[in-house]
Chain A
Amino acid sequence: VDIFLVQPVFWMSSTDRLPFDKELHKKYVHSLDIEKPDRFEYWVTEHLRVSGIYWGFVAMSMMNALDEMDLEKATAFALSCQKDGGGFGGHVAHDAHIVTTFNALQVLAMAGNLDKVDPEGVANWIKGLQNEDGSFSGDQWGEIDTRFVFCAFGALSLLKCLHYVDVKKAVKWLLTCKNFDEAFGVVPEAESHAGQTFCCVGALAMVNALHLIDQDMLAWWLAERQVTNGGLNGRPEKLADVCYSWWVLSSLAALKRLDWIDREALIDFILKCQDLEDGGISDKPGNTRDVYHTCFGCTGLSLLGYEGMAPVDFRFCLPQSVVDKLQLPEQPILTLD
């Protein structure tokens, strides 16, 4: 492609750049490690508790402070989320779902305790969620979403059990979720969305199938997510949000086109989303922080090469050191018949 788009961006010079207050953000993540059933927030997030631990652990890993967390306590919690069928819920009181299953395994991987899980049990449960058309349901009730393919591939990759499912069929289905703009939606013909696109790109990367898409056109769509304040949005005409620093960036990293966005502008934006009084990162400058945006703000900074952040694996959104230690088998180039 001789001509490609570079989106002009207006941004402040680096002399105005805010510092990254690591100690404050670590303090924030530590403060979350207390059960508070006397608070409203507790009850509207209980279903995601294991995911919250995952986000907190990733944030701490990026800040090179995972060892400050109680890995054994987190392991016990994650294991308590497993149901008889093999899948994991978000909390002991919540049903198994493919997303929380993946998050639970990610927590165990970071805690160095993946071996405490019987891989066959989990793999068989996930296998049971694959549909005739190759897609995956989130649970027995049948809802379909490209995110679930990503979670299935991710969980099975960590367990070295990808062969339990029909990978080719799943990839074929994923490709039907690709739109005319080369980005991906939640199901076929759904609106292209950066989060869904990350899931599809991540899934394709895990099974060595990225050559099956038009990488230039997709990277273009991703690059168009950058808006004038330097941040990234998830879809046209939406506001920038820090979590897209991860969804968009990791996709560009997988496509080896990270330089298609203005990196300095994005770093400035992420740093402006910090809560420099109480710690943590929020979705937009000035908004309330939460552990989810703290996680993805940190992983975004890591991918951007910001000083002091640990390297992150763009497929699994796990610290590179954790993925390396697992010694996952390399996947052969996937061909569709």
Chain B
Amino acid sequence: QGKQLFVQLESILESVPVDEYCFMLNPEMLPGNEVDESLREFYFLSGTKLAISFKTVVYLCNYLRATFNPQVSLAKEDWKLVNTCSKMMVMCNADNETAWNLRKSVIVANHITCQDERRFTSLVFSKYPKKEGTWAHRRWVLAQLLKQENSCADLLSLYKEESRVVEVAVEQYPRAYYSWKYRAFIFREFSKKNPEIQSEIIEFELAATKKWMKSHVRDYSNLVFRQEVLTAQAQRLGEAAWSLWETEMTENLEMILFYTGHESLWNFRRFLFHAQFSLRKERTSDYATMITSELSSVSDIFSQKVMEKSHEQKNSAFNYLIWVAHVLKKEGNDISEFIPILEDA
């Protein structure tokens, strides 16, 4: 049984540009199955969409364990077999880093290209969008790709594609930590090593994270990535960085007042405050104005009688103010203005 299922999957992967797959209990229940009738309880195929039954995974894994000896095949340089078997192993279990490592040998041997592997990891992401092992492997593949001399005429396009891969993955699993780790990796890798496209990458990500923020208000991972992008932008702007932070603070306050009680927005504000706090010695009067403005905005929130999620909003505002006071006190700054407001609250 295992052998038959192996041969069938091998054939599908070789002849069909599958771009999405999943597991299910009973693929035979789905109409429009292009697979031979005798195999419909194991596989469902329609166009580029593939479903594999859970029991198929068990048969395949047992068959591979019984017949595929990685060390022997590597030694014989049987790249076709290593490629096929390792593909199936990671499709079944994307956490199988040992199988991903087998694929690195296939790539190093030039049996498949880095571009092939980008496509394949995107396929695996359709089923397993947040696996650390897959993202680590893709990072290795990208690093290999970038090392190649003729790697990519258009680095900016490549960057945008990679960024989009992360977006697609976190649409399925918001906050997926290793997906965001990968986005930060590509941001650093591309923007820092290619100054000629740095400003375009920064603009691209400022726009992307702002758009995402408006439809995923509670997604703090997005805001943390935005923090990194803003920091890079501030470095580019030098003297003019203050107005960048001012604008962000203003927009953040608008969001906070509209989307009440969201910890993510308030935590983002802490970052913005911290960024301005770091510039207090260079911009003394702007900084003083900011502090006065902050105290005023936050006390307004405390004095509001009724609003949606009132308790969460006031709690967040209170926590924010205490946090700010602690930061100031730690650096020996005066916090006497804060006390009456905190006491009232």
- Which residues of chain A are near B97, meaning CB under 8 Å? 47, 94-95, 97, 139
Inter-chain contact A1/B177, CB cutoff 8 Å? no
State whether the Cβ of A189 lies closer than 8 Å to any Cβ in chain B.
yes
State whether the Cβ of A142 lies closer than 8 Å to any Cβ in chain B.
yes
Inter-chain contact B326/A1, CB cutoff 8 Å? yes
Q: Mask for B113-135, Cβ within 8 A of A = 1, else 0?
A: 00000000000000000000000
Q: Mask for B219-232, Cβ within 8 A of A = 1, else 0?
A: 11100110010010
Residue of chain A at shortest CB distance from B143: A142
A150-181: which have CB < 8 Å to B? 180-181
A31-90: which have CB < 8 Å to B? 37-40, 42-44, 46-48, 89
Cross-chain contact of B326 among A8, A38, A216 (Cβ < 8 A): A216
Inter-chain contact A3/B136, CB cutoff 8 Å? no
Q: How large is the interface on B (under 10, 10 to 19, 20 to 34, 35 or more residues)?
A: 35 or more
Q: A93-B65, A94-B98, A236-B220 are in contact. Are A43 and B93 (CB under 8 A)?
A: yes
Cross-chain contact of A236 among B267, B315, B329 (Cβ < 8 A): B267
Inter-chain contact A191/B98, CB cutoff 8 Å? no
- Which residues of chain B are near A214, meaning CB under 8 Å? 330
Q: Mask for A251-270, Cβ within 8 A of B = 1, else 0?
A: 00000000000000000000
State whether the Cβ of B40 lies closer than 8 Å to any Cβ in chain A.
no
A109-162: which have CB < 8 Å to B? 138-139, 141-143
Which of A48, A97, A190, A192 counts the most B-chain CB atoms under 10 A from its CB? A190
State whether the Cβ of A187 lies closer than 8 Å to any Cβ in chain B.
yes
- Which residues of chain A are near B250, meaning CB under 8 Å? none
Inter-chain contact A187/B181, CB cutoff 8 Å? yes
State whether the Cβ of A330 lies closer than 8 Å to any Cβ in chain B.
no
- In the assembly, what is the distance between CA of A76 and CA of B319, in Å? 52
State whether the Cβ of A235 lies closer than 8 Å to any Cβ in chain B.
yes
Residue of chain A at shortest CB distance from B273: A180
Cross-chain contact of B319 among A5, A40, A95, A217 (Cβ < 8 A): A5
Which of A3, A4, A217 counts the most B-chain CB atoms under 10 A from its CB? A3
State whether the Cβ of B96 lies closer than 8 Å to any Cβ in chain A.
yes
Cross-chain contact of A37 among B55, B62, B95, B231 (Cβ < 8 A): B62
Inter-chain contact B61/A141, CB cutoff 8 Å? no
Inter-chain contact B322/A3, CB cutoff 8 Å? yes
- Which residues of chain B are near A89, meaning CB under 8 Å? 98
Inter-chain contact B184/A237, CB cutoff 8 Å? no
- In the assembly, what is the distance between CA of A224 and CA of B263, in Å? 10
Residue of chain B at shortest CB distance from A192: B224
Which residues of B are at the interface with A, using a C-beta cutoff of 8 A? 54-55, 57-58, 61-62, 65, 92-93, 95-98, 101, 104, 136, 139-140, 175, 177-178, 180-181, 184, 218-221, 224-225, 228, 231, 262-264, 267, 270-271, 274, 315, 319, 322-323, 325-326, 329-330, 342
A sample of 22 cross-chain residue pairs with beta-carbon separation below 8 angstroms, ordered by A number, consists of: A3-B326, A38-B58, A38-B62, A40-B55, A43-B92, A44-B92, A44-B95, A46-B93, A94-B98, A95-B101, A141-B136, A180-B271, A181-B267, A186-B177, A190-B180, A190-B181, A190-B224, A193-B177, A217-B326, A237-B219, A237-B264, A238-B175
